[in-house]
């Protein structure tokens, strides 16, 4: 018996999974996405100097996951832009956040209680996108587990994975901020979530898709709302990762630092050669006699 059936949540989960995301939840998704763009240093100045570049960055924030997923599956990366309603809605959100008189719209949507509602609604869309990405890849590659996981992952966190390309549009190059090297909580959660949805899609996880969507969405909402409300960047996965990673992948070795220290120590010795040997007593006496003879002359 499934957990959801035991808790009599099957009908609720089914109704939740069938809930349409357009236009209400998509609007919240676009608002939070463009808000994060406005938080970037220099984004406001860029919107004044080059509105088109600002609009392109906003479209990447709103539709980057679709673009990256289409590239992985060999489809047209601009296919989603045929959805005129979504593009117009995202454009309207971008314009209001950046150019609304007296910043009224920005002040309203960035007000913390209102922002928390939009954050929760965005996670609803994120989980739907992960599930849709896995389902789409399963339809194309029935036994391609890694293709399903890759597609679901970029569907859930494609914007973050494309952050370096988006930075180039803003004239910024920060390779050290690569999302693969420093995964944020949404990127990690999307990765773990796509593994669950892949197992469910291949019938290795005994739970229906609707129930998995419901439970994983509730998990994401609770975590993201709490992190946003407390301005925390600590990952809920950190305790589990700190326990598992040293067991399977080992801890960070200090050998590199000691080698680094030895290398610099050797360089220090080379750059400062030892002093010349002290002169003997005979050499000192001979030098004294020469100085006296020169003085007499």
Q: Does 276 score more than 60 pLDDT? A: no
Complete DSSP assignment for 101-157: GGGHHHHHHTSHHHHHHHHHHHHHHHHHHHHHHHHHHHHH-TT-HHHHHHHHHHHHH
Average pLDDT over residues 67-87: 93
More confident residue, 292 or 220: 220
What's the chain's average pLDDT? Answer: 84
* CA nearest neighbour of 40 among 166, 186, 226: 166
More confident residue, 168 or 135: 135
Percent above pLDDT 70 for the chain:
82
More confident residue, 283 or 250: 250
Question: What's the per-residue H, E or C state across 20-77?
Answer: CCCCHHHHHHHHHHHHHHHHCCCHHHHHHHCHHHHHHHHHHHHHHHHHHHHHHCCCCC
Average pLDDT over residues 2-21: 76
pLDDT of residue 117: 97
Q: Token pair for residue 2?
A: 């499934």
Average pLDDT over residues 246-268: 53
pLDDT of residue 254: 47
Domain boundaries, the chain: 1-234
Element (H, E) at 3: helix 3-6
8-state DSSP, 272: S
Kindly report, residue by residue over 105-114, the tens digit of the pLDDT: 999 999 999 9
Q: Does 92 score more than 60 pLDDT? A: yes
pLDDT grade for 152, boundaries at 50, 70 and 90: very high
Average pLDDT over residues 126-147: 94
């Amino acid at each position: 018996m499934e957990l959801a059936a035991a808790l009599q949540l099957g009908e609720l989960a089914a109704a939740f999974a069938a809930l349409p995301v357009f236009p209400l939840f998509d609007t919240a998704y676009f608002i939070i996405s463009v808000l994060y763009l406005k938080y970037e240093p220099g984004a406001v100045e860029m919107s004044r100097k080059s509105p088109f570049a600002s609009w392109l960055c906003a479209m990447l924030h709103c539709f980057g996951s679709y673009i990256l997923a289409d590239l992985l599956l060999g489809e047209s990366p601009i296919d989603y832009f045929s959805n005129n309603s979504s593009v117009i809605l995202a454009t309207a959100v971008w314009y209001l956040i950046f150019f609304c008189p007296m910043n009224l719209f920005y002040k309203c949507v960035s007000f913390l209680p209102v922002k928390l509602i939009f954050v929760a609604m965005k996670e609803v869309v994120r989980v739907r996108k992960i599930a849709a990405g896995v389902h789409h890849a399963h339809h194309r590659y029935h036994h391609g587990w890694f293709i399903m996981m890759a597609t679901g992952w970029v569907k859930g966190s494609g914007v973050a994975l494309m952050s370096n390309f988006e930075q180039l549009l803003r004239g910024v190059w920060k390779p050290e901020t690569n999302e693969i090297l420093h995964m944020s909580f949404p990127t990690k959660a999307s990765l773990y979530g796509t593994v669950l949805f892949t197992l469910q899609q291949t019938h290795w996880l005994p739970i229906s898709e609707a129930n998995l969507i419901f439970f994983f969405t509730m998990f994401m909402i609770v975590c993201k709302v709490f992190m946003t409300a407390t301005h925390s960047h600590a990952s809920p996965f950190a305790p589990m990762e700190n326990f598992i990673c040293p067991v399977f992948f080992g801890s960070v070795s200090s050998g590199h630092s000691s080698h680094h220290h030895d290398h610099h120590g050797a360089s220090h010795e080379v750059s400062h050669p030892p002093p010349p040997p002290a002169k003997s007593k005979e050499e000192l006496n001979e030098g004294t006699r020469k100085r006296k003879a020169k003085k007499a002359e």
